[in-house]
């Protein structure tokens, strides 16, 4: 009850920020990001679009991957309309397709740009069962697996940029407190769901993908340390906000549910605050492997805290994203390969 009251009144935590803080508020301590290049997935609307707007306001160069280039161009036009000097590059990316992820990375690396920030923000809530072209349930494929491969293929570039510039690289995985709603065997449930051996539960599928984001962050942190890379990885819960995530079910019922929950909802500028804080604030230099909500470090669920499950998911993800004759990574050599064979998953 006490935590709910603190949330509603916007009480600040140890960071000096809280649930009512905005992206602009939390980036005031890092007002000049002109030396920073950031990739932000899911930046065509909602929290991602506001994150992109705030980083552009502070001077960062942005790369916006998008499935809809039209939507991404509209986002670029809105931001450059407000900040005429903003540098924004739009590239195609469909996170549910591993081949598309590989193509995006190839195109990005061909630009010979540095990479300081990777914000894995894009999310999908699929009400109907669907399987990606790679044979993976589509919510998991979009929210987690595509981001897993994207991150892995960009790690060498991020480590190189940090080494050459002396500026710490940061990876921010956007999860949700809903990750705590999933209990059980992650990989077993994914297999059952993909093969339709269990009734499809859209909320549980979404919770699984968000749990995977937290576990990814945990294992990624360990492997970055093994690389001795000056790159951190952290995970955030942005808060409850109405975005286009519910676009498949707009209507009276959805409208009523959000109206009843309106006192708990954040505005989009408030929802972007934790991502912006973790991506830019000087106070978090060297902080890695943590989970943040309302711009303060909090504890994730017990399921998200298991090193064994994090390592197990990583090994399975490597197997699911391995190159095949019909999809290659254009000669890229992803680092951080598992030292255990896939049959030990």
Q: Which sequence positions are flagged as catalytic?
A: 200
Close Cβ partners of 204 (under 8 Å, ≥ 6 residues apart): 181, 182, 189
Distances (CA, A) of 38 to 62, 166, 168, 170, 220: 5, 16, 13, 9, 19
Alpha-carbon span 54 to 276, nearest angstrom:
8
Residue 30's closest CA among 104, 117, 102, 88?
117
Alpha-carbon span 274 to 33, nearest angstrom:
17
Burial class, 255, CB count within 10 angstroms (exposed 0-12 / middle 13-18 / buried 19+):
exposed
Residue by residue, DSSP assigns 177-245 as GGGGG--S-HHHHHHHHHTT-S---HHHHHHHHHHHHHHHHHHHHHHHHHHT-SEEEEEEE--S---GG
Residue 227's closest CA among 321, 312, 336?
336
Structure tokens at 144: 């987690």
79, 56 contact by CB (below 8 A): yes
DSSP label of 162: H
């Amino acid at each position: 009850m006490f935590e709910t009251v603190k949330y509603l009144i916007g009480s600040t935590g140890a960071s000096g920020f809280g649930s009512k803080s905005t992206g602009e508020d939390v980036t005031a301590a890092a007002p000049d990001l002109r030396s920073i290049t950031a990739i932000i997935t899911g930046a065509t609307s909602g929290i991602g679009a506001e994150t992109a707007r705030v980083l552009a306001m502070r001077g960062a160069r942005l790369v916006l991957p998008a499935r809809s280039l039209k939507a991404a161009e509209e986002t670029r036009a809105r931001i450059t309309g407000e900040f005429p000097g903003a540098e924004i590059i739009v590239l195609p990316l469909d996170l549910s397709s591993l081949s598309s992820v590989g193509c995006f990375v190839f195109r990005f690396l061909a630009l010979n740009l540095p990479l300081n920030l990777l914000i894995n923000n894009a999310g999908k809530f699929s009400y109907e069962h669907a399987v990606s072209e790679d044979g993976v349930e589509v919510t998991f494929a979009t929210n987690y697996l595509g981001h897993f491969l994207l991150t892995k293929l960009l790690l060498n570039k991020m480590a190189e940029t940090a080494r050459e510039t002396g500026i710490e690289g940061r990876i921010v995985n956007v999860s949700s407190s809903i990750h705590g709603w999933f209990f059980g065997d992650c990989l077993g449930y994914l297999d059952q769901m993909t093969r339709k051996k269990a009734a499809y539960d859209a909320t549980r599928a979404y919770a699984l993908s968000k749990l995977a984001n937290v576990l990814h962050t945990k294992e990624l942190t360990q492997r970055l340390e093994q690389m001795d890379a000056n790159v951190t990885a952290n995970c955030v819960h942005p808060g409850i906000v109405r975005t286009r995530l519910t676009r498949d079910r707009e209507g009276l019922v959805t409208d009523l549910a959000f109206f009843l929950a309106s006192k708990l909802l954040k505005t989009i500028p408030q929802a972007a605050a934790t991502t912006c804080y973790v991506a830019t604030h000087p106070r978090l230099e060297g902080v890695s492997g943590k989970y943040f909500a309302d711009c303060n470090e909090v504890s994730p669920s017990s399921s998200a805290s298991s090193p064994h499950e994090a390592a197990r998911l990583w090994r399975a993800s490597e197997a699911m994203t391995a190159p095949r004759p019909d999809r290659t990574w254009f000669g890229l050599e992803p680092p951080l390969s598992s030292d255990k064979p896939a049959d030990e998953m």
